[in-house]
């Protein structure tokens, strides 16, 4: 039995996607990023499938995510790179979690924590987000070398993140990254793992591959590019989202559908009800537009997406109670893609899969 609301997750596809990307990036190692519950796919299951596909490391955002993986028995190397003032670095070190460090106050707290942390210094090479600014780097590197000599931590990695703002911006970031890395080395640091690229950089910017690429969206089979589909990249979308048809009714022309009657049936027709709404991560901005495949034909959501449900006008297409409405999956199987939902909602495929909520049952294939 399929669940009322189901995200079917193809773990074999994660492994194959990781293998495909691993082959494309040559000698660079692959870290698979399983932050945000594995982009909505399940962190623990995605992590295991990624390792089976040849990943050598896992990436998460915060220490809580890393500890949840450890609690589930995942013993692969894990890097966590965003921390608040209350972050428990001692517990992270004890659990063997590597720490991304972005500024001096953070570095000093990591040094003061119990145990000898493995630290990846994070620099801002031009994204303008997390990471040490160029101006703070000299002081940060000097402090890191001092702490390392005192045996309080080890600097094992050095990294940054790309803005994907175009070729010139990529080149400028690469240049600044390389210069900051040289600065770290002259300060006496010797990070063995240098990394810069996420999925987009890994696939299209060979100079950004260094020792390791950090693959998120590509592992889940989605393309980070506007001009290339999953299939173009040799990747298979992992999540298939569907709901059971829970109501089928014949209505006369002129019937208003859902809040504010943004949709009015243009003729006598059949309306079906799908039990997925914005509480489940279905974007309300895709009202009237999101594609839904039912019994081999693709329709658009009719009217507004509500908190728990939406309606589809299926005309005279045969649909019965208990049939499935597939919102997205692998387009090679004839269903819409997460990217089409993103386009319908004015967002990106990353956001579509990541927001799929807890009421949606994950079923692993
Ligand atoms: C999320 C994230 C990634 C993965 O990015 P994708 O585009 O999904 O491959 C890599 N590095 C950092 C620092 C991230 O925050």
Query: Tell me: the pLDDT tens digits for 262-293?
Result: 999 999 999 999 999 999 999 999 999 999 99
| Residue 249 annotated to the active site | no
d(CA 247, CA 266): 20
- Residue whose CA is at the smallest distance from ligand 1 atom 1: 216
End-to-end, the C-alpha distance of the chain in Å comes to: 14
Contact 89, 98 (CB under 8 A): no
Question: What CATH number is given for 239-364 in this structure?
Answer: 2.40.37.10
Quote the pLDDT of residue 223: 98
pLDDT band at 105 (very low <50, low <70, confident <90, very high): very high
Residue 158: how many other CB atoms lie within 10 Å: 27
Quote the pLDDT of residue 57: 98
Contact 277, 229 (CB under 8 A): no
Determine whether domain 11-227 maps to CATH 3.40.718.10: no
d(CA 316, CA 50): 44
Tokens of 29: 């190692």
**Closest approach atom of ligand 1 to CA 202:** 9
The DSSP letter of residue 208 is G
- Residue entry with tokens 């504010």: 260
Domain ranges of the chain: 11-227, 239-364
Sign, Cα dihedral of 36, 49, 216, 281: negative
Mean pLDDT over residues 169-198, rounded? 98
Residue 160 pLDDT exceeds 90: yes
Contact 243, 2 (CB under 8 A): no
pLDDT band at 1 (very low <50, low <70, confident <90, very high): confident
Quote the pLDDT of residue 292: 98
Residue 19 pLDDT exceeds 90: yes
Helix 134-149 with 104-112: angle, nearest 10 deg: 10
Q: Which residues make Cβ contacts (< 8 Å) with residue 78, sequence separation at least 6? A: 57, 58, 59, 60, 66, 69, 70, 96, 97, 98
Report how far Cα 280 is from the mean position of its chain's Cα atoms.
17
Q: Which residues make Cβ contacts (< 8 Å) with residue 27, sequence separation at least 6? A: none
Mean pLDDT over residues 212-219, rounded? 98
**Residue 33 phi/psi, 5° resolution?**
-90, 120
* Residue 55 Cβ < 6 Å to ligand 1: no
Q: Give which of 160, 277, 286 is closest to 213, Cα–Cα.
A: 160
Mean pLDDT over residues 338-356, rounded? 98
Q: Is 303 helix (H, G, I), strand (E, B) or coil?
A: coil
| Distance between Cα 215 and ligand 1 center (Å) | 6
Contact 140, 107 (CB under 8 A): yes
Q: Give which of 307, 294, 206 is closest to 243, Cα–Cα.
A: 294
Q: Is 113 helix (H, G, I), strand (E, B) or coil?
A: coil
**Closest approach atom of ligand 1 to CA 224:** 7
Q: Give which of 360, 253, 245 is closest to 312, Cα–Cα.
A: 245
Q: Is 318 helix (H, G, I), strand (E, B) or coil?
A: coil
| Distance between Cα 192 and ligand 1 center (Å) | 20
89: left (phi over 0), alpha (psi -120 to 50) or beta: alpha
**Closest approach atom of ligand 1 to CA 100:** 13
| Residue 259 annotated to the active site | yes
Report field, pTM of the whole predicted structure over 0.95:
yes
Helices (H), 187-289: 199-204
Contact 328, 335 (CB under 8 A): yes
């Amino acid at each position: 039995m399929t669940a009322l609301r189901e995200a079917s997750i193809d773990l074999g596809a994660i492994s194959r996607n990781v293998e495909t990307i691993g082959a494309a990036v040559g000698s660079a190692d692959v870290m698979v990023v399983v932050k945000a519950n594995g982009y909505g796919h399940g962190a623990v299951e995605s992590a295991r499938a990624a390792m089976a596909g040849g990943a050598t490391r896992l990436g998460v955002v915060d220490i809580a995510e890393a500890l949840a993986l450890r609690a589930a028995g995942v013993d692969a190397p894990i890097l966590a790179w965003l921390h608040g003032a209350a972050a428990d670095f001692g517990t992270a070190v004890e659990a063997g979690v590597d720490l991304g460090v972005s500024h001096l106050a953070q570095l000093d707290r990591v040094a003061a924590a119990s145990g000898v942390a493995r630290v990846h210094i994070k620099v801002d090479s031009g994204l303008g987000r997390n990471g040490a600014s160029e101006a703070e780097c000299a002081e940060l590197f000097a402090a890191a070398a001092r702490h390392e000599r005192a045996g309080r931590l080890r600097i094992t990695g050095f990294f940054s993140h790309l803005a994907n703002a175009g070729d010139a911006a990529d080149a400028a970031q690469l240049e600044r990254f390389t210069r900051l890395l040289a600065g770290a080395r002259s300060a006496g640091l010797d990070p063995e793992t240098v990394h810069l690229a996420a999925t987009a950089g890994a696939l299209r910017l060979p100079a950004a591959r260094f020792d390791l690429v950090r693959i998120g969206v590509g592992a889940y089979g989605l393309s980070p590019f506007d001009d290339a589909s999953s299939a173009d990249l040799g990747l298979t979308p992992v999540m298939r989202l569907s709901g059971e048809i829970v109501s089928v009714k014949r209505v006369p022309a002129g019937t208003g559908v859902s809040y504010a009657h943004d949709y009015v049936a243009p003729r006598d027709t059949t309306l079906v009800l799908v039990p997925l709404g914005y509480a489940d991560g279905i974007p309300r901005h895709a009202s009237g537009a999101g594609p839904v495949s039912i019994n081999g034909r693709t329709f658009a959501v009719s009217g507004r997406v509500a908190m728990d449900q939406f309606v589809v006008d299926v005309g005279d297409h045969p649909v019965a109670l208990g049939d499935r409405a597939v919102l997205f999956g692998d387009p090679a199987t004839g269903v819409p893609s997460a990217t089409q939902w993103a386009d319908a909602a004015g967002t990106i495929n990353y956001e579509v899969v990541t927001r799929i909520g807890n009421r949606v049952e994950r079923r692993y294939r």
